Every structure is written in structure tokens, then in C-alpha cells.
Structure 1
């Protein structure tokens, strides 16, 4: 997708996808602490809607008047969005990790969940932090632009490092689905 629509849309889609995982962790954390969770999905949808609305406004303005200042603001916006995602993973992934560490050692699956949460938090935090740093670099240095359509190999390397590889690692770490629940009333025919 990055080769078709190079730039900000894939970054926002990547942000939305991975912030769903943060939302899941926030819900687990809030439920474990007895905090309300009823407004979390509304906040998630509102934040994502605001992100897309701001980005669409930037695109429309750039389409009407190709302005360097607005282009700079757009690049800073994507860097800030990436920083917010990194911060979300660090805060809630870290909170969930430390909460799991406090569970009794005998807890079933404690070590596995601890490794999953720690690994995914580290991978996603690092990925979004790299995106943030590169976004700021590209905003302030025209030679470090992320929109390098003239260099598809550089594009491929960048997006492999900050999107494809982290996604593959997260999918590998979270590959095992929970077992299916069997209803107490239903018994398979033997």
C-alpha cells in the first residue's frame, strides 16, 4: 500500500490498527483495577476520527495551495501522532506488564503473558518512536524526506523496518488464539 499511496495515509492506518491493541490493554488494565471501561471505545473512535479529520484538512489545503508551511505542519502532525502511539504503548503496555509481574508465581500462563506483553510493548514502542524521529527529521531536513518516490528501495527498507517487520513480529508473538469455549449444554456426538 505504501507504494500506491506513499505518505501519511498508511501511517494513520498503521496507527489506528495498533492503537486497537493499546485499547485492548487499557480495557484489561481498567477491568483489573475496577475502573470504568464504558467510555474507552468512544475515546478511541473520537481520537481516530480527529486524527483523520486533521489529516484530510491538511491534504485539502495542500491540494488547493501547495504550501511549504502546511506541508511542514503535516509532517510534524504525523510525527506527533507516532509519538502519541509510542507513549500509549509505553504507558499502558508498561502498566499491564508490571501488573502481571505482581501476580503470584503459580498463576497459569503468567510467564507467557508477561513475555507477550513485554515483547509487543517493546516492539511497538520502538517502531512508533522510530517513525516519530524520522517524521521530525523529515520535517526539518528536506534531504531526509520520507516521500522518496524516486528511491523505491529506500522506501521499501524504511517501511519494512517500521511497519512490516514489527507487524510480522507482533503476529508471531500473538499467534496462539484462546481455546474455544464449549457450552455446558452442548455435547458433541461420539
Structure 2
């Protein structure tokens, strides 16, 4: 009788072993702590470098971005370090706030980056950017208001459907930020390419007109 290898079962059992192993969980969380810690340190170094280089400009968009990046990744790193203590916090709403607040700050961080790119894009096209910052603050205010409302509901009465809705809300907000990221990041990426193509077309047109003019002059000289 031929034995059929059960690759799926082996993979499934391997995943179950890893998922149920405290040692593997500790290793994975230690890796996450290190990764988030490295990103936080790099963001802090960048913030200090920019502040030392141009201290007279105050809190620019770039400085706020690096500060929020440091804050988000630093808090996530601390949450992973003290994950067991966080899981045992009471009341439960404190745990939800500690786990959700970095996600809110993450949204604000990359929405700020999208704002920065949008300002560069519209300024390069000589379009007014007066409405960008009010839109940024309005969107963030709505997102924070919705999330704080869900926290208050969970504090009043822990409802499982609200927890699910909160996760779906964060997914939608992250998707919205990713869309803005791709939209204005892609536009900024395409702008230099379009500029080069336009410049090349102008050079070709000038050369063509020059050749036509020169050919016309030579024709007249030949006729004379």
C-alpha cells in the first residue's frame, strides 16, 4: 500500500505547534520589539538631526512626521514588551485604548505624509493648497471622534459587535490612508517623468523648427 505524504497536515501541525508554544511566541514578540524599536530610534535620530540643522523653523511637517513615527513605533514596542501585563489589565477598556491608540497615531502619521506630498504636488502645479490642512484636521477629528465613541460604548458595556466594528473601522481607515499614499505618492513619482517628457518634446520641437528655418534659408540661397 502506497503512503501518500500529508504535507498539509504536517504544515498545519507545525503551525499549531508554533502557535501554542510560549517559546516561539516569545521569540516572535522579541523580533517585533526589536523591529519597532529600530524604527523608533531611526525616527528619533532623524528628528534630532533636522532640529539641529534647522532649529529656527519650529515644528515643521517633516518634524511632526518623525515625532509621530517615533511615538507610534515606540509605544508599539513597549506594548509588545509588556504584552502579558497589557492582556491582564482591568478594566478592559484600558487594554483596548493601549492597543488602538498606536493605530490612530499611525493613521495620523501617514495622513500627515500624504498631506506633505499633496502640498508639494499642488504647489508644483501652481494650485492653491489652502483647503488641504483643514481637510487633514477634519478627517482626523472625525476618525478620533468615532473611535472615542466606540471606546465609551465599550467602557459602558463591552459588546462583542462593537469590538468587531472597531477592527473593521481601523481596516477601513488604513485602506483610506493607503489610497491617499498611493495617489499622491504616484503623482509625485510621475511628475518628474512627465516633466522630462515635456522637456524632451520641447527640445525636439525647437530642433525641428530650427531645421525647417535653416532649410528654408538654404533653399532661398539656392534660388538666388
For the aligned pair, the TM-score class normalised by the smaller chain equals 0.5 to 0.7
The structure with higher relative contact order (CA 8 Å, sep 6+) is: 1
Q: What does residue 34 of structure 1 align with?
A: 126
* 1:67 pairs with one of 144, 153, 159: 159
**What 5-or-longer segments of structure 1 have no aligned partner?**
108-190
Deviation at 1:58, TM superposition (A): 0.5
Deviation at 1:15, TM superposition (A): 1.1
Larger helix percent = 2
TM-score (norm. length: structure 1): 0.52
Alignment of 1:134-145 (within 5 A): none
SS at 1:104's partner residue? helix
> In the alignment, does 2:204 pair up with 1:83?
no
Runs of 4+ in 1 over 3 A off after TM superposition: none
TM-score (norm. length: structure 2): 0.45
Equivalent pairs, count: 106
Structure possessing the higher radius of gyration over alpha carbons? 2
> What do you get for the CA RMSD once the two structures are aligned?
1.8
**Partners of 1:6 and 1:67 in 2: how far apart?**
18
Q: What does residue 181 of structure 1 align with?
A: none
**Partners of 2:145 and 2:194 in 1: how far apart?**
41
Alignment of 1:41-56 (within 5 A): 41-56=133-148
Alignment of 1:75-154 (within 5 A): 75-104=167-196
SS at 2:195's partner residue? coil
**What 5-or-longer segments of structure 2 have no aligned partner?**
1-74, 80-85, 87-96, 200-224
Q: What does residue 69 of structure 2 align with?
A: none
